[in-house]
């Protein structure tokens, strides 16, 4: 046996004799010799809502066209707004999933609508059934998380009027927000069996209705008390002093929706400090996806790439 072979075998034997933890530490050691691993950047996706904008750009409603644009612009994934889809047949869903895969994109979120703010038990059950069906759509698309809402009372008919009133609307006559919390908690609880079966984590958004405040969102999520109900954190839905409110929800967050407003907001404009938001999310070890929701008047074809650049910079890898 030559000397080189004896040396190799001796060093190999010594390595095998190390405790398993020491072997893992040796494997994890970066080439530069430092034991500090670099924290990877958050992956950035885009909501199809950013292109269509609830009918502001009718030529950008098609989901497959939105996926093409997302790939061309350099995103990592796509969140689909279910309301935007004109076809949810099994064949079409599989075609969309295949297209995203071939373009190297994750289908990483499904954004849905439902409402549990009704004193009518049959109405709430109808919305439970709707939400279960939406979970099954997410499963068919291979999507791991789905945005849900508490819903609204519907007493403010005009959405622009609701925005002018900072998302606040009065309950139905004879009812209260306090009365409605058990309705929402029970309804979302009924959806969890399907969520777990399909492997789709529900994310309750800080949206309107009972989700307008961080306290309201956490009251529901904590009461349901399941790993299959977390928070979809929207950076643009707290109008005043957003950062402390965002941080309250950060530990329970499964997906972050990030708003930008190039050209001025369609409904309102917020001056959001994404460096600060990135820092507070890092503090709570959020490593999941960011989903861009562009909501400005500029053409999405120019505004969305600019928004991606802002998010890439703010959420870049840190040592």
In 3D space, the residue among 150, 158, 156 whose CA is nearest the CA of residue 168 turns out to be 156
pLDDT at residue 36, as a whole number = 54
Per-position DSSP letters for 143-156, written without gaps between them = --EEEE--------
- Cα separations in angstroms, 176 against 80, 170, 179: 33, 8, 5
pLDDT at residue 158, as a whole number = 83
Widest CA span in the chain = 92
∠ CA(201), CA(206), CA(207), 5° rounding? 110
The model's pLDDT over 123-140, given as tens digits with 9 standing for 90+, comes to: 999 999 999 999 999 999
More confident site: 132 or 15: 132
Residue 11's pLDDT band (boundaries 50, 70, 90)?
very low
pLDDT at residue 15, as a whole number = 40
Which residues make Cβ contacts (< 8 Å) with residue 210, sequence separation at least 6?
A: 117, 150, 177, 180, 181, 184, 216, 219, 220
Q: How far apart are CA 313 and CA 319, in angstroms?
A: 14
pLDDT at residue 319, as a whole number = 61
pLDDT, mean of residues 141-159: 94
Question: Would you list the domain boundaries of the chain?
Answer: 42-314
pLDDT, mean of residues 162-186: 93
Residue 317's pLDDT band (boundaries 50, 70, 90)?
confident
Residue 34 Cα to chain centre, angstroms: 34
Q: Which CATH number does 42-314 carry?
A: 3.20.20.150
Q: Strand pairing partners for 107?
A: 78
Q: How far apart are CA 305 and CA 72, in angstroms?
A: 10
């Amino acid at each position: 046996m030559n000397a080189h072979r004896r040396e190799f075998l001796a060093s190999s034997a010594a390595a095998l004799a190390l405790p398993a933890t020491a072997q893992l530490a040796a494997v994890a050691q970066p080439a530069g010799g430092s034991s500090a691993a670099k924290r990877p950047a958050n992956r950035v996706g885009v909501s199809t809502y950013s292109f269509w904008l609830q009918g502001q750009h009718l030529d950008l409603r098609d989901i497959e066209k939105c996926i093409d644009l997302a790939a061309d612009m350099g995103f990592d994934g796509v969140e689909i707004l279910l309301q935007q889809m004109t076809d949810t047949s099994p064949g079409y869903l599989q075609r969309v999933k295949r297209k995203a895969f071939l373009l190297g994109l994750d289908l990483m979120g499904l954004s849905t609508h439902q409402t549990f703010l009704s004193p009518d038990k049959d109405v709430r059950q109808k919305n439970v059934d709707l939400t279960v069906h939406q979970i099954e759509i997410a499963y068919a698309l291979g999507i791991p998380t789905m945005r849900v809402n508490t819903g609204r009372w519907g007493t403010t008919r005009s959405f622009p009027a609701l925005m002018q009133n900072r998302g606040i609307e009065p309950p139905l006559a004879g009812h209260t927000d306090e009365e409605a919390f058990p309705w929402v908690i029970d309804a979302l609880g009924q959806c969890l069996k399907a969520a777990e079966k399909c492997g789709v984590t529900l994310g309750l958004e800080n949206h309107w209705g009972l989700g307008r405040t961080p306290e309201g969102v956490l009251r529901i999520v904590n009461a349901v008390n399941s790993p299959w109900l977390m928070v979809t954190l929207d950076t643009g839905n707290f109008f005043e002093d957003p950062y402390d409110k965002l941080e309250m929800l950060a530990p329970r967050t499964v997906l972050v929706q990030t708003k930008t407003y190039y050209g001025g907001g369609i409904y309102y404009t917020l001056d959001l400090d994404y460096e600060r938001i990135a820092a507070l999310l890092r503090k709570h070890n959020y490593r999941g996806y960011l989903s861009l929701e562009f909501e400005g008047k500029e053409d999405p074809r120019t505004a969305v790439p600019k928004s991606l650049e802002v998010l890439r910079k703010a959420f870049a890898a840190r040592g």
